[in-house]
Amino acid sequence: MILLRLFRNFRGTTLAAPCLWVILSAASLALLAAVEAARPTSTLGLDTLRFAIAATTLCPVMAVLGAKRPQDRGWQWIVLSLWVVVVWPAAQAVILPTGTHVELFIAWKLFLLGLVAIGLLNYLPTRFWLSSFLVAVGQLILFDSYLWRWNFHPSSLTLPLAVACFLAATIVATLHSWRNSTSPCPADSPSLDTYQQQWHTFRDAYGAFWALRILARVNETAALRHWPIRLTWIGFVPHPSNATNTVTTNQLAELSQAMSTHLRRFNKP
């Protein structure tokens, strides 16, 4: 229910596709739980299925990296292709079986760790840092037997522990979103606080990859139009090179136009 509500909230934005990847990955994990309950004995086919479903957890964040119109729809084929590349060792293990376990070369292990790190680093500087950390932990638990085989937990607990991390991440993110939605809304007449909140919402939803690009674009406009403010990661701050820190009505209108121009490829039309 939480995931469906999340999809409804982002419907019409470029985050709708990443939400669909989240729902697909959650459904795949539920399928894996059912299969493991029916067939507790580990086989090569079951191990291959585990690896392929674990790889779906990498897709949502990869989809976010292409969440900009007009390439956002075509980007989903790239995400699907990435999933195929990630699971290729599992396909090779089925085609040319050499045991009952999917084996990965060291380069493939580093590749997987890099994909997990991308998702973590993208949201680590945002308000959802704890959720991104929990998701990364859940992914590492799912890939544990393929990366290093430390066996710090029984194999039967791999899926429950990973799902617990994903559920905790979802709950934490939902609580943060509810707290933000119940915060005082800006006045009817747009003020600097209005665009401050708009920036925080975009930054936390899309992560550092897109936020840093928007930050640079807004500051380019600010320098060109000689605004007395600049956009930083925490929000708008006074610029020391300007004699006055007062933002005029005309400058607020220019700021509104700039924010609308830069964010229209992400938000609802």
Residues forming a β-bridge with 235: 232
**φ, ψ (nearest 5 deg) of residue 71:** -85, 0
Task: Quote the pLDDT of residue 9.
Answer: 73
Task: Quote the pLDDT of residue 8.
Answer: 72
Please calculate the CA angle 3-147-97 and round it to the nearest 5 degrees.
100
In the chain, count of helices (H) and strands (E)? 13, 2
Least confident of 5-19, 24-38, 131-145, 162-176: 5-19
Please tell me whether residue 229 adopts helix, strand or coil conformation. Answer: strand
Q: Which amino acid is at 38?
A: A
Q: How far is CA 2 from CA 137, 172, 175, in A?
A: 21, 12, 11
Task: Quote the pLDDT of residue 110.
Answer: 93
Q: Which amino acid is at 39?
A: R
- 30-63 pLDDT per residue, tens: 999 998 888 766 788 888 899 999 999 999 999 9
What are the tokens at 54?
């674990």
Q: Is the peptide bond before 60 cis (omega within 30 degrees of 0)?
A: no
- 198-212 pLDDT per residue, tens: 999 999 999 999 999
H or E element in which residue 115 lies: helix 106-123
Please tell me whether residue 58 adopts helix, strand or coil conformation. Answer: coil
- 98-143 pLDDT per residue, tens: 666 788 888 889 999 999 999 999 999 999 999 999 999 999 999 9
Q: How far apart are CA 16 and CA 19, in angstroms?
A: 5
Model confidence at 3, pLDDT cuts 50, 70, 90, reads low
What are the tokens at 42?
């580990």
Beta strands in the chain (DSSP E): 229-232, 235-238
Q: How far is CA 229 from CA 175, 217, 247, 249, in A?
A: 32, 14, 8, 14
Least confident of 49-58, 69-78, 148-157: 148-157
Q: Which amino acid is at 225?
A: R
**φ, ψ (nearest 5 deg) of residue 251:** -70, -35
Task: Quote the pLDDT of residue 187.
Answer: 45
Least confident of 35-44, 150-159, 236-245: 150-159
Task: Quote the pLDDT of residue 31.
Answer: 93
Contact (CB, 8 A) for 68 and 266: yes
Q: Count the alpha carbons within 13 Å of 115 in the hemisphere toward its beta carbon.
A: 23
Q: How far apart are CA 104 and CA 109, in angstroms?
A: 6
- 235-238 and 229-232: which strand pairing? antiparallel
What are the tokens at 109?
């292990």
